[in-house]
Amino acid sequence: MMERVPVTIPALQAISREGRRFACLTAYDASFARLLDDCAIDIILVGDSLGMVVQGHGSTLSVTVDEIVYHTACVSRVCRHALVMADMPFLADASTELALINAGRLLKEGGAQIVKLEGGHEICTTVSLLASKGVPVCAHLGLRPQSVHKMGGYRIQGQDDEAASLIFDEAQQLVAAGADMLLLECVPSALAARVVRAVDVPVIGIGAGPDCQGQVLVLYDMLGLGEGRRPRFVENFLAGKDSLRAAIEAYVDAVHKRHYPAQQHGY
C-alpha cells in the first residue's frame, strides 16, 4: 500500500488540474477528526456549523473566534494527513486588521492550514491582505449562512441571470485577490460549472452539482443525523452500513470516483 502523505494546497491544486476529485467533511473534535483522517478524507473543515449541530443554536451567528480556535486545535492535534480548514466566524473579519489577527490565531493557536471566509467583492481587500501575509484563504460564495438574515433564509442563490453573473464575477475577483480555493454553496449546477472552468484554483461544492473538484458535507448530515427536511444534495451514507468508518469510507470513495454528487443532487 502506498504511504499517505499530508494533503497540501499545492497537492489539491494538482489534483484539480488532473481532473481528479477530493473529499471534505466537517469535524469538531479529536475522535471524529482521527476517524476521518484514517479514512483518507482530504480536507477537514472546522465549520461554524458547530453552532447548530454541536451547540444547538438556530444559526451559525453566535459562534466565536475562541470557540473555532478551540475546536480547530482539537482537530489539528490528531490529523496526520488531512488538510485542516477553519471557518472565520461572523464578524471575525469586520476589518482587514481584525481579520489578520483572527486568521493568525486560527493558524497559530488552532493549527489550521487554511481559513474560510464568507463574502464576495467586499472581502477582496481582506483576502489580498491575508494572502500577502502567507495566510491561505478559501472564499465562500453562494448561500452564505452568516448572511442568513440578509438573504431571507437558507435559499438557493444565483438562480437569475443577474445574481448568477454577480457570483461568477466575484469568484474571479476573489481568485485574483489571492484566494487559494473557492467554496460554492447551493448554486445552480450550470453556474458552478462555469466558475470551475473560469478559475485556476480548486472549487469545493455543497449543493453545487457534480462539476466542482471538491465536495463537502456536514458530517452529521452525511450520517443521517440532520433534523427536518433533508436538502437535495445530502445523502445518508450510513444507511445500510454497519459502522461509522464504513459510512465515511463510502463517502470518500463516492466523491473520488465521481459517483457523488450526481446530477440529482444539484439544482
pLDDT tens digits, 15-45 = 999 999 999 999 999 999 999 999 999 999 9
Average pLDDT on 219-238 reads 92
Mean pLDDT of the chain: 96
Model confidence at 186, pLDDT cuts 50, 70, 90, reads very high
- What is the per-residue pLDDT for 227? 77
SS3 251: helix
According to DSSP, residue 249 is labeled H
Q: What are phi and psi of 57, to 5 degrees?
A: -80, 165
CATH code (residue 114): 3.20.20.60
pLDDT at 2 over 70: no
**Assigned domain for 76 exists:** yes
pLDDT of amino acid 226: 80
Distances (CA, A) of 122 to 73, 82, 104, 141, 193: 29, 30, 20, 12, 23
pLDDT in tens, 49-107: 999 999 999 999 999 999 999 999 999 999 999 999 999 999 999 999 999 999 999 99
Which triple of cell numbers denotes residue 27?
469535524
Dihedral angle computed from the Cα positions of residues 49, 50, 53 and 57, in that order, rounded to the nearest 10 degrees: -90
Asked whether residue 135 is domain-assigned, the answer is yes
Task: Output the nine-digit C-alpha cell for 63.
Answer: 459562534
Query: For residue 14, is it within any domain?
Result: yes
Domain membership of residue 1 (yes or no) is: no
**Cβ–Cβ < 8 Å for 119, 144:** yes
Give how far the C-alpha of residue 241 lies from the chain's centroid of Cα atoms, to the nearest Å: 25
Tracing cell 451514507 back to the chain, one arrives at 237
Centre a 10 Å sphere on the Cβ of residue 194 and count the other Cβ atoms it contains.
19
Asked whether the predicted pLDDT for residue 112 surpasses 90, the reply is yes
Asked whether residue 32 is domain-assigned, the answer is yes
Is residue 191 included in any domain, yes or no?
A: yes
Residue 4 located in a structural domain:
no
Task: Of 205, 39, 65, 66, give the one whose Cα is nearest residue 138.
Answer: 205
Contact 91, 68 (CB under 8 A): no
Inside any domain, residue 129: yes
| Residue of 118, 185, 235, 249 with catalytic role | 185
Structural domain count of the chain: 1
Q: Domain span at residue 256?
A: 9-265
Higher pLDDT, 227 or 102: 102
The beta-carbon contacts of 233-238 under 8 Å, at least 24 apart in sequence, are 233/186, 233/206, 233/207, 233/208, 233/261, 233/265, 233/266, 235/260, 235/261, 235/265
- Name the pLDDT band for 1 (thresholds 50, 70, 90): very low
Q: Is 185 a catalytic residue?
A: yes
